[in-house]
Amino acid sequence: MPTPADPASTVSLIIPLYNESESIDPLLPRIHEALDDFAHPWELILIDDGSSDDTLVKARAAARDAGPHVRVIELVRHFGKTDALQAGIDQAGGDIIVTLDGDLQDDPADIPPMVAELERRNLDLLAGWRKHRKDPMIMRKIPSRIANWLIRKVTGVTVHDYGCGLKVFRAEVLRRIRLYGEMHRFIPAWMASVTSPSRIGEYVVHHHPRELGQSKYGIGRSFRVIIDLLTVLFFLRFHARPGHFFGVIGLASSALGSLILGYLGWVKFGLGESIGTRPLLLVGIVLVIASAQFLTTGVLAELLARTYYESSAQRPFVISHAEELGEARFKQPRV
């Protein structure tokens, strides 16, 4: 059942920064103005992701002026947005974690109502939806819509705007996953692996055109999204049974190769025609060999998966907090 907002809950704001020196000075005043009457205790964590300009210097100066509730994390080099977010999550101490971008396109005024909505609906993730996005149509909107549609179809998590930086999480659930590579685009999908999709919601947020600095994303990222999506698909559906993934490919390859070689055998021995110079012969042989490789790879992947789960505290399932079992109680036999 939905629970009322708890003012005792603490909130951690995480903002990754990379060459955003022009945005630092107006960013912190906007956040403090938006959270002036916020009912929750809050902190702000700024992560400098190896910026080559004076982003770090300005962030540290702004943190000193703001007070001890603002902290700055410096990464030794540019690792990428995903690693910067994970560094902030590791340092966050709040019960609720809010992420937003540092380019001033996300509106901090959306944070209080989103936190209230998360707790009112008892969600684990409330993702922002830039329904009226203020970005160029060709270079940003169209590739983003295609990517969002593709991610929804593959993952089954119906979030309209995977790329929106403004998201609100329940910290205890977010910490069940680890972010690597460029997987920040797929956070709702990763969250669906540790919680029910019914506990993931959306909230229409305000979006502003970029006025300062330069965007770090272009149309080329669409190709990276497709590659990363294959990784997400594998880990979401086959992380505990990788043999099924490789086995299906291997069996399909074996069936097709056997069909080709069977047809060529009939041509050779039934019709008496030569097949030695036919490209189809090479295709059939390669498919049969590839099928054996896929099947053996599946067996090895199964062994690795079992070793991983048996040697660590990780489990291929997550028990709902409301349904966790307490101490075992036994019905005593009649005397």
pLDDT in the model for residue 111: 93
Architecture in CATH of 11-237: Alpha-Beta Complex (3.90)
Tokens of 36: 């002036």
Report DSSP letters for 223-283, one per residue. Answer: HHHHHHHHHHHHHHHHSS-HHHHHHHHHHHHHHHHHHHHHHHHIIIIIS----TT-HHHHH
Residue 334, CA distances (Å) to 329, 331 in order: 16, 9
Which whole number is the average pLDDT over 86-106?
Answer: 90
Could you report the per-residue pLDDT of 42-81, keeping only the tens digit for each? 999 999 988 888 899 999 999 999 889 999 999 988 888 8
Strands 70-74 and 11-17: unpaired
Residue 42 · residue 127 · CB < 8 Å: no
Which whole number is the average pLDDT over 203-232?
Answer: 69
- The domain segmentation of the chain, as residue ranges, is 11-237, 242-311
pLDDT in the model for residue 328: 53
pLDDT in the model for residue 318: 53
Which whole number is the average pLDDT over 257-284?
Answer: 87
Residue, of 143 and 326, whose pLDDT is higher: 143
Strands 42-48 and 70-74: parallel
Give the least confident one: 95-109, 191-205, 238-252: 238-252
Which whole number is the average pLDDT over 143-166?
Answer: 77
**H-only helix segments in 92-220:** 111-120, 142-155, 171-174, 187-191
- 104-129 burial code (b ≥16 CB/10 A, e <16): bbbbbebbbebbbbbbeeebbbbbbb
Residue with tokens 């559906």: 237
